[in-house]
Structure 1
Amino acid sequence: MRDDLALMPAGELTALFAARRASPVEHLEAVLANIAAYNPVLNAFCWLDEAAARRDAQASEARWQRGAPLSPLDGVTATVKDLSVTRDWPTRRACHAIPAEGPWREDSPSVARMREAGAVLVGKTTVPEFGASYITKSTLCGVTRNPWNPAMTPGGSSGGAAAAVAAGMGTIALASDAAGSIRTPAAMTGVFGLKTSFGRVADYPASYLGTLAVIGPITRTVEEAALCMDVIGQPDPHDSYALPPASHSFLDGIGRGVAGLRIAFSPTLGFAEVDPEVAAIVAAAARTLEALGAEVELVEHVMEDPGPMLGTLMAAGVANAFRVFGFGAAEKAMMLPRLVETAARGAATPVLDYLSAREAREKLGARMRAFHARYDLLVTPASAIPSCDADADAPRDPRYARYANPMPFGAAFNLTKQPAASVPVGLTQAGMPVGLQVVGPPHGDALVLRACRAIEAALPLPGPNLAALRHAPFAAHPPQGLAGQFAALAVPA
C-alpha cells in the first residue's frame, strides 16, 4: 500500500482520505520513503522540509477526519520549482551568488494557493542556474537525473520537478516555462506538463524574462493537472497581468474526447530537425487522434524559426535578472561564464533591435490567432530528440551533432502566449519516453487538457522501473554548495 500511496493519482488519494481508508500522513510517509530511496540517485531536490510537511499532513488528516477538507487537493503532496519564492525556504535559482540566508518572507501566488488548499509542500526542486538550460545541472545543486535511465537528463529547466513526479517523490509539481521548461522535462520523463496561457496563473515577483514565463503543473495524470489548475488559476493582486478566474472547473468536460475537433499535425513546424524515432512515435500518436474521431490535417509549415527573436528577448531578460539582483563583479565571478556572457549580450542589445524582436513576436502571435481560426488544436513533437546525457552541456550522441537546436518546439508558444502541453505517447527502443505537444488557442487551456486526457487514455504509458534506481551507480551526497546551505540554515543535510 505504501508504494501505491506515493504513486496514486490525487483524486484516488482524496477518495481514500474521505473514506478513512488512508490518511495524508500515510501518503506523505510513502512519498518521503521514495525520496529517501531515489533522491540520492536522481538529485531532484535542493531543499526538503520533512518536519513542516509532517505538520501539514497531520493538520490535513484532522480536517479529513472532521469531514472538512479545504479542497480536493487537501493532503496531497506537492513540490515547488526553485525559481518560485517560498516562505521560510531558500529560493537560490541554483546560483551561488544568491545567499541561502534570505530572509524568505513570502510565497509566490501559486505556492500560496496550494497552501490555502491544504496541499502538503515537501520541498524545492532543482533547476539549472537561473533556469537557463535544457538540462538540469549546476555547480550549486549538482546533476539531476532521469528516473527512466539515470545516465540521462530529465530535461530542463524543470528537471527536478519532472524527475520528482515520475519517481513518486511528490504528486504535483509547481513549475515554470519560458521556452519549453515544463514541456521538455515532461516529455523526457514520461509525465504530463502544462504550459498555461499567459496570465492564467498569477505570478509574483514578476519573471525577469517578462511575458515569456508562466507557471504550470507537472503531474503523472492529466486530471491531476486540472485539479491543480482549479487551485492555482485564481487571480492575485500582486500580478497585474493575472486573468479573471476561469468560469468553470478545468475538470468540466475533460472526458469529452476529441471527436469532431479540427487538429493540425506539424511534424517540424516548418523548420525543425527531428530524430526519426521520435518523429515516427509522434506521427503514430497523430493517427491515434484521427482514430478517436478528430479531423487531422498534415501542415508542414506553420512558421519560420522563431529562434532569432527569442534569443534577443531571452538575452535581455537575463540582463534584466542581473539588474534585479544587483549582481556586480564579485557575484558574476561565482556564476557560469556562459550565463554572464548572455547577460552582457542582452545588456548591449540596441533598443531598436529589442523592439524589432518584440514586433516580430507580435506578428507571430497574430499569425497563430489566424491559424486557430482554421484549427482547434495544433500537435507537434514536444522535443526533437529523446533524453540526452545528464552531465553534458550538449548531447554526446553523434546523431545529434548537427542539430542546431534539439528543443525547437517549445519557445514559439511562449512567444505567442498560447497554452501548450506535453503528454507521453510512447517509448523509444532504448526505453526513453517521447512526448506529444498539444497547442491550443489563446486561453484554451481547458481544451488542451481535454485533448490530452483523450490521448492519455488511448496511449497509456507505464512508469519507470523505480526498483532499478536502488542499484544505480550515481548515488551521491548533497553537492558542496547545498551542504553549506543546509548548515547555514541549521537544517540537517
Structure 2
Amino acid sequence: MTTTDPALLSAAELLRLYRRKALSPVETAEACLARVRRWNGSMGAFTFVDEEGALAAARASAARWQRGEPCGPLDGVPTTVKDLVLVKGWTARRGSHSTEGQPPAAEDAPATARLREAGAVLLGSTTTPEFGWKAVTDNPLGEIARNPWNPALTPGGSSGGAAVAAALGMGALHLGTDGGGSIRIPAGLTGIVGLKPTFGRVPAWPLSPFGTVAHLGPMTRTVEDAALMLTTISRPDRRDWHALPPEPRDYRIGLEGGLAGLRVAASAALGFVSVDPEVLRVFRSAVATLADLGAEVEETDPPVGDPQELFARTWFPAATRLVEKLPAEARARMDPGLLAIATEGACYGRAELQDAALERGELGVRLQLFFAAYDLLVTPAVAVPAFPVLRTQPGPQADPRWTAWAGLSYPFNLTQQPAISVPAGFTEDGLPVGLQIVAAKYADALVLRAARAFAAACPQPVADTPRSPSAQEPAAPV
C-alpha cells in the first residue's frame, strides 16, 4: 500500500518503520484516533475509546523503540477488542442494558492479555449486537455499525464494529469473535480479511454463552497481519479448558507457499444456500483465479446437508439460557429478536438437544473424511451483498433469525474448522464480495497460505473513507 497516513499502514509495515526509527507509535496512535474522532459518530465502529490509555501506551512503546528494546512482536501497533471480550479496566457492555453499572474488568481475557504482553496499543472496544447474537451490528444501546462502502447498509455482524474500524484505518489489528460467521460475514461485506481459527487455537475465557461454536480471531486489512496476530493470540492460557495444546509457531512462515498442486473443492452454495447472482459471478471469477495459480479445482459440494435446524438447536437454547440468567427488568430492555430466538430455544426438549450434540459429531466426521480427499474448500464468504441497517434479513421479512442467509458460514462453527474470508471483488453496485477458504481442523496455516496467494493475485481496494456519507437509512426498521 502506498500511503503517507500511518493509520492506513499494515501492522507489518508499521513495525518495519518503527525498527528503522522512521515512524513513532505516538504518530500512529494519533492518526488512528483522529480517524475515530472524525468518523465514529456516524459509522459506529466503537462503543468505547480509551484515548488517554492508548496515547500513554504509545508513548511507552516509542520510548522502547528509541532504546531498541521492543517488548514484543506487536509493540506500538494500534489494536481494538470487540465489546464481548474482557479488557482490564474497561467495562464490557456487550451491547446490552443488562450490563449497566457493572464494574470494569479486573483482568484481561486470554487474547487481550497476549496482545498487551506483545506491546499492542489498545484503542477501545468495537461495537457488537447484544451479546453477539446476530449477523448484523446494532443493539438496544442505540449503537449501529455502518458499512464503509455505503453507510445506509450493514457491515454484517456480529463483529461489525471491528470490520468498520479495520476498513477505515481505526487501528491495524482487530480482535473479533465468530459463533456462526461473526468474523467472516462482516469481513466479506466490508472487504477486509477475517479469520476464524480452529476452535481452541485462540484461548478464550470466560467461555462464550454460545459455547463451543464460538471462536476468537483476527480481523485485519492484510493476510500477513492476520498471520502475525494469530501468532500472538494463540499463545496458551490455562483458563481455557478447551484450549488446544500449545503450538509454538510463527504463522507468517510458509505464508508464501502458494497454491500449486493443492486439491480445492469449489462449492458455490454448499448444496442448500440461495446465493445472489452477483455474489455468484464474483465467486466464479475467484475460482478461476485459484486454478490459474495452479490449484487442482473441482466443483463439488461437501456432505453438510442442510444444517440450519441443527445450528438452531445448538444456538437458540444457548440464547434461552443466557436470557434466563438475567433479571426480569433487564429482559424488558433486550433486543426483541434475541428474546424471540430465546423463546424458540426453550421449545427444544432434552432429547432434541442430545440428538443435536450427536448429529454435530456426525457432521464433523463427514467433513473430516471429506478433507481427506481435498486440501481446501472454497465458497462465497456471504451469500448476499450488504443490505440496509436495522434489519436482520436482506428482504422485508420480520423473522429475527439470521441463519437463513448465513448458511455458508455456520456449518464450520459446528465442525470447528479454520475458515477465512478474503476480499474477492465487487458487485455491479460496488459492494464487496468475499471468498471463504476452509481447511481441515488444525490446518490454520494452510488457510492463511491459500488466502495470501489469492490476495496477492487478486488485490482489492479498501474503503479507507466512508464512500456515501450522505446516504439515508431505511424509513423504518424491519
Quote the offset at 1:315 in angstroms.
Answer: 1.1
CA distance, structure 2, for counterparts of residue 183 and residue 465 of structure 1: 19
Alignment match, 1:236: 237
- The residue number in structure 2 matching 1:271 is 272
Any residues of structure 2 matched to 1:274-353 within 5 Å, and which? 274-300=275-301, 302-323=303-324, 326-353=325-352
| Alpha carbons 2:265, 2:374 under 8 Å: kept | yes
- CA deviation vs aligned residue, 1:257-307 (integer Å, no higher than 9, x gap): 010100000111111110011011011101101100010000045321110
1:25 equivalent in structure 2: 26
Task: Tell me how far apart the structure 2 counterparts of residues 436 and 473 of structure 1 sit (CA, whole Å).
Answer: 27
Alignment of 1:421-432 (within 5 A): 421-432=420-431
Q: How far apart in 1 are the matches of 2:10 and 2:403?
A: 38
- 3-state DSSP of counterpart to 2:123: strand
SS of 1:113 mapped into structure 2: helix
Alpha-carbon distance change, 283 to 467 in structure 1, aligned in 2, over 3 angstroms: closer
In the TM superposition, what is the alpha-carbon distance from 1:244 to its structure 2 partner?
2.1
State the partner residue of 1:181: 182
Does the 8 Å CA contact 1:281/1:426 hold for their aligned counterparts?
A: yes
Distance in 1 (alpha carbons) for counterparts of 2:422 and 2:18? 28
| CA shift in 2, pair 1:241/1:426, >3 Å | same
* Letter matched to residue 387 of structure 1: A
1:355 aligned onto 2:354:
yes
Answer whether contact 1:108 1:204 (CA < 8 A) is retained.
yes
Counterpart secondary structure, 2:297: strand
The code of the aligned residue for 2:155 comes to P
> Which residues of structure 1 form unaligned runs of 5+?
476-493
One-letter amino acid of the counterpart of residue 82, structure 2: K
Structure 2 equivalent of residue 472 of structure 1: 470
Contact 1:209-1:320 within 8 A present in 2 as well: no
* Distance of 2:262 and 2:346 partners within structure 1: 45
> Is residue 12 of structure 1 aligned with residue 10 of structure 2?
no
d(CA) in 1 for partners of 2:101, 2:471:
30
Report the aligned-residue RMSD. Answer: 1.9
Residue matched to 1:480: none
Q: 1: CA distance between counterparts of 2:195 and 2:356?
A: 26
SS in structure 2 opposite 1:421? strand
1:379 is paired with a residue whose SS is: strand
What amino acid maps onto 1:177 in structure 2? D
Once residues 159 and 467 of structure 2 are traced to their aligned partners in structure 1, the CA distance between those partners, rounded to angstroms, is 23
* Aligned mates of 1:454, 1:219 — CA distance in 2: 16
Q: Which amino acid aligns with 1:350?
A: G
- 1:68 partner letter: E
1:311/1:460 CA distance change after superposition, 3 Å: same
Counterparts of 2:246 and 2:173, CA distance in 1: 21
Q: Distance in 2 between matches of 1:8 and 1:92?
A: 30
Hey, what's the Cα distance between the residues in 2 that align with 1:209 and 1:134?
Answer: 14
Please state whether the residue corresponding to 2:435 is helix, strand or coil: strand
Mapped contact 1:3–1:30 kept (Cα < 8 A): no
Partner of 1:481: none
Structure 1 residue 367: deviation in Å? 0.2
CA distance in 2 between counterparts of 1:3 and 1:391 reads 36
**TM-superposition CA deviations, 1:37-96 (whole Å, max 9, x none):** 121221111000100000000011111111111222110000000111111111121111
Match of 1:359, SS state, is: helix
Who is 1:123 aligned against? 124
* Alpha-carbon distance in structure 1 between the residues aligned to 2:32 and 2:41: 14
Residues 86-139 of structure 1, C-alpha deviation per residue, up to 9 Å, x if partnerless? 111111211111114424211110001000000000000001111111111112
TM-superposed CA distance for 1:396, in Å, is 4.2
For 2:222, the equivalent position in structure 1 comes to 221
Classify the secondary structure of the residue corresponding to 2:219. strand
- The percentage of aligned residue pairs carrying the same residue is 46
Is the 2:92–2:104 contact (alpha carbons within 8 Å) kept by the matching residues of 1? no
Q: Unaligned 5+ residue runs, structure 2?
A: 474-478
CA contact (8 A) 1:165 1:218 kept: yes
Partner residue, 1:86: 87
Which digits, 9 at most, give the CA deviation of each residue in 1:134-162, with x for residues without a partner? 11111204221011111111101000000
- Residue type of the partner of 1:450? R
Are the equivalent residues in 2 in contact too, given 1:43–1:160 (CA < 8 A)? yes
Partner of 1:486: none
SS at match of 2:40: helix
Say if 1:235 and 1:242, in contact at 8 Å, map to a contact too: yes
Alignment-derived partner of residue 445 in structure 1:
444
Report the Cα offset of residue 182 of structure 1.
0.3
1:328, CA displacement in angstroms? 2.2
TM-score by length of 2: 0.95
Amino acid at match of 1:377: L
SS in structure 2 of the partner of residue 466 of structure 1: coil
Distance change (3 Å), C-alpha of 1:467 and 1:273? closer
Alignment of 1:136-147 (within 5 A): 136-147=137-148
Report whether the alignment pairs 1:171 with 2:172: yes
Partner in structure 2 of residue 41 of structure 1: 42
- The number of residues matched between the two structures is 469
C-alpha separation between the residues in 2 aligned to 1:124 and 1:97? 17
Q: What is the letter of the counterpart of residue 78 of structure 1?
A: T
Alignment of 1:102-121 (within 5 A): 102-121=103-122
* Deviation, structure 1 residue 2: 8.5
Deviation at 1:31, TM superposition (A): 0.3
Counterpart position of 2:476: none
Return the letter of the residue paired with 2:328: A
Report the CA distance between 1:463 and its aligned residue.
1.4
CA contact (8 A) 1:41 1:472 kept: no
Distance across 2 between alignment mates of 1:155 and 1:208: 20
Task: Write the distance in 2 (CA, Å) between the matches of 1:276 and 1:341.
Answer: 31
Q: CA deviation at 1:467?
A: 6.3
Question: Residue 4 of structure 1: CA displacement?
Answer: 2.1
User: Offset at 1:408?
Assistant: 1.1
Aligned to 2:55: 54
